[in-house]
Amino acid sequence: MTLKDFSILSILCLFSISLAAQQKISGTIISAENNKPIPNVDIYDQGSGKLATTNESGYYEFTTEEKQLKIIFFSFEYEVFEKQLVVAEDIVLNVSLKPLGEQLSEVELNVRKTKIFALKRLKDVEETAIFAGKKTEVVLVEQSMANLASNNARQIYSQVVGLNIYQNDDAGLQLNIGGRGLDPNRTANFNTRQNGYDISADVLGYPESYYSPAAEGLQEIQIIRGAASLQYGTQFGGLVNFVMKKPNQAKPFEFITRNTIGSNNLYTNFTSISGTVDKFSYYSFFNYKKGDGFRPNSEFESKNAYAHIGYQFNERTKLEAEVTYLRYLAKQAGGLTDAMFTENPFQSNRARNWFQIDWLLYNVKLSHKFSEDTNFTFNAFGLNASRNALGFRTNRVNQVDPGTERDLIKGDFNNFGFEARLLSNYEVFGKKSTFLIGSKFYKADNTSAQGPGSAGSDPNFEFQLDDYPNYQNQSAYDYPNLNVAIFGENIFYLNDKLSITPGFRFEHIKTESDGFFKRINTDGAGNVILNETVDNSETRERSFVLFGLGASYKPSDALEIYGNVSQNYRSVTFTDISIINPAFAISPEIDDEKGMTIDFGVRGNYKNMISYDLGAFGLFYNDRIGFVQRAFADGSVKSERGNIGDAIMYGFEGLLDFNLNEIFIKNNDYSFNYFINAAITDSEYTKTEESGVEGNNVEFVPNVNLKTGIRFGYKNFLSNIQYSYISQQFTDASNAVESNLSGVIGEIPAYDILDISFSYTYKNFKLETGINNLLDNEYFTRRATGYPGPGIIPSVNRNFYATLQIKL
């Protein structure tokens, strides 16, 4: 059955099923202490989950078909209020909440969170976005018990199923996550956003995320799998949206400072201010990191600043603006061959390699509520950034650096865009439906240049063309890219349990490259016999429509059955076609990737005792880009990057979280949880013209991906222990186990890691500490094709951290 058939069937169902009326429940929530409205109060149904959140004026509303409800009003600064309702008509329910009479212990706060949030997911509609029928996961960062100072992704994303994570630095300077066979490198197969706007270098031409928000400044991380392609862009992975902390609505001024020390001379400081004065609100932080790294030649220094201001004109209109700046300089210890890793996984033979990032993001957001049923948001966003990579690179990774000129790659990214969304609730035959229409304009003007760097050892990011005019890896390109998109989705509630959500996305993509590269040949004595400039330009323009369909069935308060199917698309990036790399070659025939993602699952929360999300998925990939070994005319054998063929990835993903305190202890002095997060995945190349590839496994697909852990707390003390296991995976389509001279291909062996963490709170002070990789296992998760390699990039050995937080 085709996607068109599904749509026709959905429309027929819409008119054939009897529809029940919905009732609206609304009201305003104020403080019993001063009668002021309370924003950001969450309203829950005890069985089905979150229903609404109050706006800046304390107003909330939601619709329901239930005849009886037990609703809960929840805010961390106020006592929980519960109300039993008999719903026969529209109800106006105004509520007055009492401030907490005493300071709760850390465990009591944790218990309150656990009872409400045991397995948080995005509700059907949030502001101007639709998530009905999609696989959504929300990381509540402060509850993760992770090493936040170093952005430890293994801990932060511990309850997100199936993620494959590169772990190659001890400061969390970059985030590298993939999953379902998608390359984790710089999270390039996800659409990455911060508070709803793009943050990667170039969404289409270079979707790599060199900037990763400071975990200590995050409220939550929203992850929507492949079905996000309709609302957020065409990537196969879906959406990762970093939601920053909000201004404190209860105080005019709040001050938090966190100082961390750790192994390898790690020091970090995170200091934030926040508050609300009348209609004006603000939140800002500065994050500083410095350390020696866990290998020689891997020291770093990072400075990250963020500022958000908001102005609430009235209960219908709000204007927000924010700016983010990141600058870091990191020495690159280089990659290893398999033999070097076996000899000493923490060695380095690169003392002159450097990497620098300069990232400036800005965004202005207008939110307006035309009526109680119609919301509008408009984002204007932009990026001015650069990345510079400098060092000695060769496909013979074990070669000693001769101290000559270094290879320098400079990239500058300048882009801006606008995204408008209109969401409206309406009725069909007395039944509520929700319609979303949106548009996006995105313009990028990026440049990339490659050439000779200095022969020194300092981070000098200036070309030395006068000194080395015959340097072979010379090129310079402009990349003017344009993207225009229109997208829409609609939730049709067929009855009180079943909804379907069809959607579409129209894309017009124009990617261009205009530049040159040098072709320089020398004889055996090193004399130049050819030095020519080859002009190279290319324009790729395409327009297409993607379709998707989601469905949700909720037979009871404790169970939801959901599913979706969505088409995906990934355009060729400019690094796929124009960067000269000694470790691999680029196929001249490389082209865009196309495919489809299917998700099906069950999820819910049984009496606050067990939270669960169990599901199966299929990812169908056409013209997948990857690496194969190829012999060239000069007699060399290299990895070549190009379209390998068609592939399928499929498997089971499941998360179970047991609230053992609720099951056995039932004492609010304790918190006690056990979770298990497992993904069983298989893959296969189903069609290819490459010899020896058909039937092989797809790269970056471990068959077993397991994370499990126990969290225990008593009063102000909390503890967490987490175990992770990832089975063996391949890095190229030939499924090579043995490596080559560059260390780029070959397997990534299975590995496991144990982490422990603790925290204790006393009044305005909080101490956090822990040990990552407690068993001191030697392992690696990455074979880099370029910087910070090429070659094997080892992962961090045993390391500790300690954080002191002061909150005023």
At 103-114, the pLDDT tens digits run: 566 565 555 555
For residue range 21-46, what is the model confidence (pLDDT) as tens digits?
567 888 999 988 888 888 888 887 75
pLDDT of residue 583 exceeding 70: no
The CA–CA distances, whole Å, from 688 to 545, 552, 614, 732, 733 equal 26, 36, 32, 14, 10
- pLDDT class for 12, splitting at 50, 70, 90? very low
Has residue 226 got a pLDDT over 70? yes
pLDDT tens string 405-456 = 999 999 999 999 999 999 999 988 878 899 999 999 999 999 999 999 999 9
User: What percentage of the chain exceeds 70 in pLDDT?
Assistant: 91
pLDDT at 311 over 90: yes
Query: SS in 3 state form for 579-633?
Result: CCECCEEECCCCCCEEEEEEEEEEEEEECCCEEEEEEEEEEEEEEEEEEEEEECC
Give the pTM: 0.89
The pLDDT value given to residue 585:
76
- Looking at the domain 239-536+547-807, which fold is it? Maltoporin; Chain A (2.40.170)
Rg (CA), the chain: 27
pLDDT digits (tens, 9 = 90+) for 779-793: 999 999 888 889 999
Q: If you ran DSSP here, which 8-state letter would residue 188 be given?
A: T
**DSSP summary character for residue 661:** I
Helix ranges restricted to H, 288-384: 338-343
The verdict on domain 23-102 having CATH code 3.40.50.880 is no
pLDDT for 690-701, tens place per residue? Answer: 888 999 999 999
With H, G, I as helix, E, B as strand and everything else as coil, classify residue 90.
coil
Instruction: Give the residue extent of every domain in the chain.
Output: 23-102, 239-536+547-807
State the chain's mean pLDDT as an integer. 88
Burial 281-308 (b: 16+ CB within 10 A, else e): bbbbbbbebbbbbbbbbbbbebebebeb
% of the chain residues with pLDDT over 90: 61
Q: 141: which residues sit within 8 A by CB, 6+ positions away?
A: 148, 156, 215, 218, 219, 220, 221
Q: What are phi and psi of 22, to 5 degrees?
A: -110, 150
**pLDDT over 90 (residue 738):** no
Q: Are 190 and 243 in contact (CB under 8 A)?
A: no
Poorest-pLDDT segment among 38-52, 198-212, 354-368 = 38-52
pLDDT, tens only, 513-529 = 899 888 887 777 677 77
**Dihedrals φ, ψ of 217, to 5°?**
-100, 5
Reading phi first (left if > 0) and then psi (alpha if -120 to 50, else beta), residue 746 is in: left
User: What is the bridge-based pairing of β-strands 559-570 and 593-606?
Assistant: antiparallel
Higher pLDDT, 100 or 82: 82
Overall average pLDDT of the 163-192 stretch: 91
pLDDT at 359: 97
pLDDT of residue 205: 84
